[in-house]
Amino acid sequence: MAEISLTFPDGTSRSFPAGVTPAEVAAGISGSLAKKAISATVSGTHWDMQWPITANASIAIHTMKDDAQALELIRHDCAHIMARAVQELWPGVKVTIGPVIENGFYYDFDREEPFTPEDLGAIEAKMREIINLRDPVTTEIWDRARAVRHYEDTNEPYKVELVGMIPEGQPIRMYWHGDWQDLCRGPHFQTTGQVPADAFKLMKVAGAYWRGESSRPMLQRIYGVAFRTRQDLKDHLTFLEEAEKRDHRRLGREMDLFHMQEEAPGQVFWHPNGWNIYTALQDYMRRQQNRNGYVEVNTPQVVDRRLWEASGHWEKYQEHMFVVEVDEEHAREKSINALKPMNCPCHVEIFKQGLKSYRELPLRMAEFGACNRYEPSGALHGIMRVRGFTQDDAHIFCREAHIEEETRRFIEMLSAVYRDLGFEEFKVKFSDRPEMRAGSDNVWDKAETALKNATDAAGYTYTLNPGEGAFYGPKLEFVLTDAIGRDWQCGTLQVDFVLPERLEAAYIAEDGAKHRPVMLHRAILGSFERFIGILIENFAGRLPFWLAPRQVVVASIVSDADAYVHEVTAALKAAGVRAEADTRNEKINYKVREHSVGKVPVILAIGQKEVENRTVSVRRLGQKQTEVMDLDTLVTGLRAEATPPDLR
């Protein structure tokens, strides 16, 4: 019998008969490993313990202590066990696909009656029964004809279609969990009993079109989460509860910040309170840009197709653009325009006006640019994912020799902004060339090398994000982590040698000849809409005082105090504090409760005693104790708190 060589993680190698399985390899090492083993990695591929190894390879045996591999198996097996449970409870239900997703799994079912919350409880109970049976999990490879015949005989039309989609030459692998069978690439556990019975939960049911196509049948998708331990599950459910409390859509209603409606999908209706946040943040960013040598511009919303074709966006980005046809007066054909999805080509057009000297570089050009991009309706999410948004966008036109210094300056500016907004640290990702891109490989080599060297010189480490660069250049992505551990990609910096070439931008160098500038695309917040959503969720609505939409409410306890309430309110407004009076004929406890729900940081209660002493009773959001202060001291203190951090 032919032999193969398997190399272990410690570098040692051993010979085994060709066709040996990881289960047999583990048993040959020790009986305890054979009992604990759940899967293997064979030459970089996650491998089922039953699959034969037929060629020389590296191998690592995994146990439940190996987090990534254990979670993949737990979640994949849970999807199969859930499908088995559904078909045991409702034998007529047809099954489709059930992949692993972040934190869990789902499976799509074709069932006439909708699943109910009570059904989810019954499915969970049946899943635990199946797990406790400790049924063996086995696998075979079938030929295409046998697989199709099997699924036709069992009346599983979706599986017949899936078999037909498997490319020639790829194995058609069948798995059995006990007597229940499914088509699957694997790998899986060796028994159903290896799935932790107390570490999963079914979460919700949603509709999903078969293969994601609206012309195909609507299926029912059951989502679940699964972890290695009961405590991990508990921690995740607690995290979800906290995330729900922080949901910017709910807080947006409670704080009266904004709303969305069907007549303008993906567009934000900003209410006065929300617009207070928006303008305070925009004013802050404008000051930061001025300090860092940017000039501010503004460019058109509707731009002729010809510019988008010249820039490459028409070819690479058209599916995300809103096209506008204009019937120009006396024109024989309609003019094709598009709402701008980004600002960069328009900034190049400003740069091209008049001759630019090398002495004017680097030229930092900023715009709070209103953009529109088509997002599928199912992808829209409050103000986090919209169709109409404003970027804190800027483009730095410079020479190649400037890239390192401009990168350093930008990261310093970005760091200061994030600190002021409550984020002390961030992570950096490097995104290199995507499959669909403009420019030659030589240009991309130069751009990627320049950006990597600049990031290294700035003293920042980064992780690679392969293939996620813009179509015109590589980029750095700056990732914030919020108060409950979620990551948000916000800022970006991109090096672009392509667009200046395509749009024929040039400057006059020392030699008197025209040269192409390098274009650095950069944003710190990303979009104002999304970043405000992140701020709302990070602070659970309790924004820093300088950003709070309503900073102070002055509330009367008795009507005789109304005149003093208005005097206090006027004094605070004069000091630059966003203050409002509440003299409604309501009890003070009602007013305090209402404004606390609205996340007003400071509530001042004024009754007859405060009027006589010219004091105020101060209640801070989240505190039960009140403090009595004289008016002048209060105004001085709140004036300082209301001052943005860059002006202190």
Express each pLDDT in 193-234 by its tens digit: 999 999 999 999 999 999 988 899 999 999 999 999 999 999
- pLDDT tens readout for residues 373-420: 998 887 889 999 999 999 999 999 999 889 889 999 999 999 999 999
Catalytic, 77? Answer: no
Same domain flag for 99 and 23: no
Q: Residue 126 to residues 84, 133, 197, 205, 315: CA-CA distances in angstroms? A: 9, 11, 11, 17, 52
Active site residue 475: yes
Mean pLDDT of 521-533: 96
Are 280 and 397 part of one and the same domain? yes
521 is catalytic: yes
Catalytic residue, candidates 188, 246, 395, 522: 395
Which of 506, 539, 572 is the endpoint of a domain? 539
**Which CATH number characterizes residue 274's domain?**
3.30.930.10
Q: What is the mean pLDDT of residues 42-70?
A: 95
Handedness of CA 36, 41, 45, 48 (dihedral sign): negative
The single residue of 80, 521, 530, 578 carrying the catalytic annotation is: 521
Examine the domain organization and report whether 516 and 581 are in the same domain: no
Residues that constitute the known binding site: 344, 395, 521
Q: Are residues 84 and 205 in the same domain?
A: yes
Average pLDDT on 576-587 reads 96
Residue that terminates a domain, selected from 63, 93, 109: 63
303 shares a domain with 235: no
Which residues constitute the domain of residue 145? Answer: 68-244
Co-location of 615 and 468 in the same domain:
no
Is 395 designated active site? yes
The answer on 607 and 504 residing in a single domain is no
CATH number at residue 30: 3.10.20.30
In a domain, 187, yes or no: yes
The answer to whether 573 is a known catalytic residue is no
The pLDDT of 638-647, averaged and rounded, is: 96
Residues 562 and 484 in one domain: no
**DSSP reduced 3-state for 371:** strand
Structure token pair of residue 405: 């210094």
332 band by pLDDT with thresholds 50, 70 and 90: low
CA nearest to 505, candidates 282, 354, 295: 354
- Given the residues 344, 346, 398, 490, select the one marked as catalytic: 344
Residue 216 near residue 207, CB atoms below 8 Å = no
The answer to whether residue 344 sits within a structural domain is yes
**Considering the domain boundaries, does residue 252 fall inside one?**
no
Report residue 459's pLDDT band, with 50, 70 and 90 as the boundaries: confident
Q: Which of 69, 181, 190, 391 is catalytic?
A: 391
Task: Give residue 450's pLDDT band: very low, low, confident or very high (50, 70, 90).
Answer: confident
Say how many domains are in the chain. Answer: 4
Kindly give, in sequence order, each residue whose CB lies less than 8 Å from that of residue 421, ignoring residues fewer than 6 positions away: 535, 544
535 three-class SS? helix
Q: Does 253 map to a domain?
A: no
Report if residue 476 sits inside a domain: yes
444 and 571 assigned to the same domain: no
The verdict on residue 249 lying in a domain is no
- Region 127-149 average pLDDT: 95
Q: Are residues 269 and 396 in the same domain?
A: yes
Both 124 and 41 in a single domain? no
487-496 and 475-481 strand pairing? antiparallel
How confident is the model at residue 263, as a pLDDT? 93
Distance in angstroms (rounded) separating the CA atoms of residues 379 and 421 = 27
Q: Quick check: bond before 91 cis, omega within 30? A: no
Q: Which two tokens stand for residue 518?
A: 């390098």
Do residues 131 and 81 touch, judged by C-beta distance below 8 A? Answer: yes
Contact assessment for residue 217 and residue 209, using Cβ atoms and an 8 Å cutoff? yes
Question: Angle 117-133/67-89 helices, nearest 10 degrees?
Answer: 110
356 located within any domain: yes
Query: Annotated catalytic, 346?
Result: no
Q: What is the CATH number of the domain that holds 606?
A: 3.40.50.800
Domain's final residue, options 63, 84, 110: 63
- The token duo for 406 is 């401009």
Residue 57, Cβ density class (10 Å: 0-12 exposed, 13-18 middle, ≥19 buried): middle
pTM here is: 0.85
Q: Is residue 250 part of a domain?
A: no
> Is 623 tagged catalytic?
no
Looking at the structure, tell me whether residues 171 and 233 fall in a common domain.
Answer: yes
Question: What is the pLDDT, as a whole number, of residue 395?
Answer: 97
